[in-house]
Chains A and B, each alone.
Chain A
Amino acid sequence: MKRFTVRLCLFIAFASVFYIITILIFGTLIPASLAKNFDYFGGGGFTRRRMNDAAKVNGVDVIIIGSSHAYRGYDPRIFKKEGLTVFNLGSSSQSPLQTKYLVEKYIKNLKPKFVIVDIYPILFGVDGLESQIDLISSGLMDKDIVKMSFEINNIRLYNSLIFCALNNAFHLRKQKKLDRTGDTYIPGGYVQSYESLKFKKARFTQKISVSALQLGAFKKMLAELRHRNIKYIIVQAPFSKSNYNSYTNNDEIDRLFAGLGGYYNFNKILNLPDSMYYDDSHLNQFGVNAYNAKLIDTLKSAGILNTVAGFKLKDCVKNYQVLNDK
């Protein structure tokens, strides 16, 4: 038995070293297409740059959080015209688990007075794997990331975690640029694109499922904002009609989020042509111009933003409170 235990321990140590060396080889020498459960590059979308910027910014009026709908849907330059400084904390496929993490991580230095929480409801039914890999491959590595990774519990994530930890420590490989052509990073976390790709006009219909884990993380994140006395609204940025209409329970989703705070579904407010979309899920710059203008108008007419020039957050918050009380 003693011999067995000793040999087994030795083998585990040997296999662990072998595994780590293989991961290093996969990360540095082997083309990504040959690896199935290994992703060093994440989802693109300038997440690394955005997170680096977020760490440097000290205080903004508004932050925007959510998936790629967030970083492709809210242009800080448009908000700046309204007198608002904005930082966009969106990341690819960001699920509420990661939203909560990012809010907790950056809220101290971003010190927002107001938060626009962009939701893409389908991401309330995912495990958060893609977004987690996106964050890890963007260089984020701390005990909360590791803890969250164990909660998601996926070998692909562990492999990526091992490589990224080693990469952060030893700078083994520069990140390959995976961001789509035509994309431009705008300071403040926004990704601008004027392109309009062809996309399918019909999708399989599906029902949006909401996992208790993701909804729980979302509610905790909102509670954290309330605890810090930061006002927020929940928004669905518009996406193509073919995409939106493929979900069979949009009304049910609207009712769910309307119960969690001020909520606007711009798929029902705004009717944009397909030429204003980058793909069937994201706006291009033309769409963003139209959407952001409508968003600001809507918030103003709802009393949330009561002045256009020389916007005062105090007024905003006061009016928002009145609106909520009503």
Chain B
Amino acid sequence: MLFNSLNFAFFLPVIFILYWLLNKQSLRIQNILLLVASYYFYSCWDYRFLFLLIFSTLLDYFTGIKMAEAKTFRSKKGWFWLSVLVNLGFLGVFKYYNFFGQSFVDMFSHLGVHLQLSAINVILPVGISFYTFHGLSYVIDIYKDRIKPERNFIDYSLFVSFFPLLVAGPIERATHLLPQLKKKRYFDYNKAIDGLRQILWGLFKKVVIADNCAEYANLIFNHSSNYSGSSLVLGALLFAFQIYCDFSGYSDIAIGTARLLGIDLLRNFAFPYFSRDIAEFWRRWHISLSSWFKDYLYIPLGGSKGGLWMRVRNTFIIFIVSGFWHGANWTFVIWGALNALFIMPSIIFKTNRSNLEIVAKGKSLPSLRELFDILLTFSLTLIAWIFFRSASVGQALQIIGGIFSKDLFKMPQTSPKPVILVIIILFVIIEWIGREGKYAIENIGIQWTPVLRWSFYSFIIVCIGMYMQTSGSDFIYFQF
């Protein structure tokens, strides 16, 4: 069930009404409702993988308890590794089996040994990378004695499977979400309204901006050898907007949906394309994943404590692992490595925390220096996105080579309708105006009269109705 489907438009109100009707009953019944709804939501993709989700939940639930009850450290460690290895094992089989198998065969073929790979047609269970990381953070936190294990199976299962975040995050932490699930929720008018507003903005980003950009980005990337340098630049630009609006749109809908149910999820995006350097970009892009890698990989590896070499090594490791997390393809690995490379100057010169606040805070426009930094950072991310989107490293190199050809300054061979380009520009302006909020339209219109404010929201609805891409696609991050 997609967030941008009619099914979800029926599903969410039904759950919302039942959920708040049950508020007068016990919290337990309310959580059971959410859990059943979450399992139903998940089984709409493929009910067979529900068993995998339940197995993963059971595994982490019991190993969490066993770790807490272990009388020796050796026993605790044993339970910990059991959970980690089984979780990563599932991820490995479903996501990386064919990749590793093929890479292995390729490696031997270079040595003159020709092996046969019995490739299995593995369907990637939707959301596996996300709920595996949920579970892993939980067991790691217990292992490190940061949290106590959750004894209530319903609450724990809901933490793993809560439908707004189940398939593409934000990747939650037990310390943040579990306490909310254990506490009685009270209907908060402002929170619910805010949730609806965020859902509306997320939907606009997905179906109007991302899907319209996708149409042309796909066309150009899928036939990249037929396009001129300027068209390839346009393709990369459109993909940059597509992936941002697709994933942040999804996150907005997820966070807004959770807020309707009185639950706060972690923020996932903070206007990353207004970043002034790559370090800032990564503090603003897919925040829940970046912070996960920081807390569970970068810091355990030594973080930035061990001097320059250690910082450089650890930075490369987390970016390459992050790339690999996205998919079993060398393009993702190179995308990660490129980002590590781009961030290196600020790591080496220790300027990676120089842009913590949003750009031009309290001002209408950025300074020329800030504008230059934003454009430079955006250009670097654009180069990295080319690898992310390409089917192979060879194609990415062909595209980059094609961009720097003599026809770079010719008119692109294809382009979205002018009206769509105008809407994209309007979108960038709204994002800029609203960049100090949690999402762009959070504070826009708050001081206006109700009629004017409602007209603004209705205008967004009209844009969705009039300009949404009707042959919509899945959210990109569902494949991860």
Contact = CB atoms under 8 A, between A and B. Distances in A.
Contact of A22 (B20, B454, B466): B466
Contact of B466 (A18, A38, A153): A38
A9 to B, nearest CB: 12
Given A154-B470, A155-B465, A155-B470, A36 B458 contact: no
A19 B457 contact: no
Contact of B467 (A19, A33, A37): A37
A111 interface: no
B239 to A, nearest CB: 20
Given A4-B192, A15-B461, A153 B6 contact: yes
Interface in A235-262: none
B458 A18 contact: yes
Given A1-B20, A3-B189, A4-B189, A35 B466 contact: yes
Tier of interface size on chain B: 20 to 34
A15 B193 contact: no
Most chain B CB within a 10 A radius of its CB, from A3, A36, A154, A159: A36
Contacts of A14: 454, 458
A77 interface: no
Nearest to A17: B458
Given A11-B454, A11-B457, A153-B6, A37 B20 contact: no
Given A4-B192, A153-B6, A18 B455 contact: yes
Interface string A51-67: 00000000000000000
A37 B193 contact: no
Interface string B13-27: 000000010000000
A18 B20 CA distance: 30
Nearest to A1: B187
Contacts of A38: 466
B470 A19 contact: no
Most buried by A among B420, B455, B457, B470: B470
Given A4-B192, A4-B193, A159 B454 contact: no
Interface in B429-480: 454-455, 457-459, 461-462, 465-468, 470
A161 to B, nearest CB: 12
B74 interface: no
Contacts of B187: 1, 4
A34 interface: yes
Interface in A11-59: 11, 14-15, 18-19, 22, 26, 33-38
Contacts of A156: 470
Contacts, number: 55
Nearest to B423: A36
A15 B458 contact: yes
Contact of A19 (B192, B417, B465): B465
A15 B454 contact: yes
B419 interface: yes
A1 B193 CA distance: 11
Nearest to A14: B454
Contact of B461 (A19, A34, A36): A19
A129 to B, nearest CB: 8
Contact of B420 (A1, A36, A158): A36
A45 B189 CA distance: 53
Contacts of B462: 18-19, 22
B364 to A, nearest CB: 29
Interface centre among A18, A156, A158 (most CB of B within 10 A): A18
A18 B458 CA distance: 7
Interface in A140-161: 153-156, 158-159
Contact of A37 (B189, B458, B465): B465
Contacts of A4: 187, 189, 192-193
A212 B459 CA distance: 38
B7 to A, nearest CB: 11
Contacts of B458: 14-15, 18-19
Interface in B404-418: 417
B468 A155 contact: yes
Nearest to B416: A36
Nearest to A31: B419
A38 B466 CA distance: 7
Contact of A159 (B20, B193, B457, B465): B465
A267 B470 CA distance: 34
Contacts of B467: 36-37
A279 B229 CA distance: 34
A36 B454 contact: no
Contacts of B465: 19, 37, 155, 158-159
A14 B479 CA distance: 38
Interface string B163-189: 000000000000000000000000101
Given A3-B189, A4-B187, A155-B465, A36 B457 contact: no
A238 B455 CA distance: 53
Residue of B189, B417, B458, B459 with most partner-chain A CB within 10 A: B458
Nearest to A22: B462
Interface string A138-182: 000000000000000111101100000000000000000000000
Contacts of B189: 1, 3-4
A18 B454 CA distance: 10
A37 B468 contact: yes
Contacts of B468: 37, 155
A186 B20 CA distance: 63
Contact of A36 (B6, B196, B419, B455): B419
Contacts of A36: 417, 419-420, 466-467
Contacts of A26: 466
Contacts of A34: 419
B470 A159 contact: no
Contacts of B20: 1
Contacts of B417: 33, 36
A156 B207 CA distance: 14
Contacts of A158: 465
A294 B442 CA distance: 69
A14 to B, nearest CB: 5
A204 to B, nearest CB: 11
A18 B457 CA distance: 10
A35 B418 CA distance: 11
26 contacts: A1-B187, A3-B189, A4-B187, A4-B193, A15-B454, A15-B458, A18-B454, A18-B462, A19-B461, A19-B462, A19-B465, A33-B417, A33-B419, A35-B466, A36-B419, A36-B420, A36-B467, A38-B466, A153-B6, A154-B470, A155-B465, A155-B468, A156-B470, A158-B465, A159-B465, A159-B466
Listed from nearest, the 5 A-B pairs whose CB atoms lie closest are A18-B458, A15-B458, A22-B462, A36-B467, A1-B187
Given A3-B189, A8-B196, 19 more contacts: A1-B189, A4-B187, A4-B189, A4-B193, A7-B193, A15-B457, A15-B458, A18-B454, A18-B455, A18-B459, A18-B461, A19-B458, A36-B417, A36-B420, A36-B467, A37-B467, A37-B470, A158-B465, A159-B466
